[in-house]
Amino acid sequence: MSDNAQSPKLRLTGVTKSFVAPRTGQRTLAVAEMNLDIQTGEFICIVGPSGCGKSTVLNMIAGLDVPSGGVIEKDGHPVRGPGADRGVMFQDYALMPWQTVEGNVGFGLRHGTPGENLNKEQRNQRIAHFIDLVGLRGSEHKYPHQLSGGMRQRVALARLLANGPDILLLDEPLGALDAQTRLILQAELLRIWGETSPVTERKTAIFITHDIEEAVLLADRVVVMSSHPGRVREVVTIDLPRPRAGTARTNPRFGVLVEQIWSLIRDEAYRAIGGDESLAKPTEEATA
């Protein structure tokens, strides 16, 4: 067994999360006995029906929430709170409207721990590098209200990367975008993550999505969760060759993997929206 396999970047062991309603004191078990190892440089997508605890898991890895039981370890050390080594990107951009693109991207470098060992020139060079990396050169002095949704999300991604985290935690970052922009940014995300680089040079990424096709396109492995409480139902290895952005969807294996993952969550997804589960399954006549 390799050292990498023995020492995962992230390890979740028996992780459980309960919430207590303030008024009634009723306890709800949101996540139960989650076990997962994530290796350095892996791109992991988490999918599952609404309410299965995907975002709760991400928040616990980020240190924004505390497990009720079990342990989350990064590089063999327990996660006890937020840290600059784990960067979070949300669906709603979370940009500061009074800051320009440059100001948003460089905020952590100028006012937080990521920039403590950098001088002014080094910070400015780093900011310019990541603005250029996400394709926003020329927009440095624009404010968020002057940008499209796709451009705002690029700013959020550049800010995340500029802070230099080991682990990227992405909570449906493309969910609010139109279909065309989403496809473009999926390809851009793979490029920026380092799809064509050696695994050791890639960031470790954990990406939450409701879009199964997006998960299959992006991930090395897809963690499929079930709900009530949230559990790991299955981990599906995505055995499509990289790079994927231009060719993956035309590979017959792509459709097979999408259907495999959909079959794992189909019934619960229908129940989550109050739909007719029978409509999710092919009839005997249709499959004859």
Question: Does 211 lie in the same domain as 69?
Answer: yes
pLDDT over 70 for what percent of the chain?
A: 92
* Whether the predicted pLDDT of 288 surpasses 60: no
pTM for the full predicted model: 0.88
The stretch 250-268 carries a mean pLDDT of: 94
Q: Which domain holds residue 59?
A: 3-79+167-185+203-287
**For residue 51, what is the domain's CATH number?**
3.40.50.300
Mean pLDDT of 58-71: 96
Q: What mean pLDDT comes out for the span 48-56?
A: 91
Residue 63 forms part of a structural domain: yes
Least confident of 86-95, 149-158, 183-192: 86-95
Asked if 52 and 178 sit in the same domain, the reply is: yes
> Is residue 196 one of the residues assigned to a domain?
no
pLDDT 10s digits, 95-117 = 999 999 999 999 988 887 777 88
Confidence of residue 160 (pLDDT cuts 50, 70, 90): very high
What integer pLDDT is reported at residue 6 of this predicted model?
62
Higher pLDDT, 92 or 164: 164
Q: 171 and 261: one domain? A: yes
- If asked whether residues 63 and 180 sit together in one domain, one would say yes
Q: Would you state the pLDDT for residue 276?
A: 59
Candidates 42, 71, 76; CA nearest to 207 is 42
Is 194 inside a domain boundary? no
Q: Does 275 score more than 90 pLDDT?
A: no
Q: Is residue 192 part of a domain?
A: no
| Mean pLDDT across 247-263 | 95
Task: Specify whether 148 is located in the same domain as 180.
Answer: no
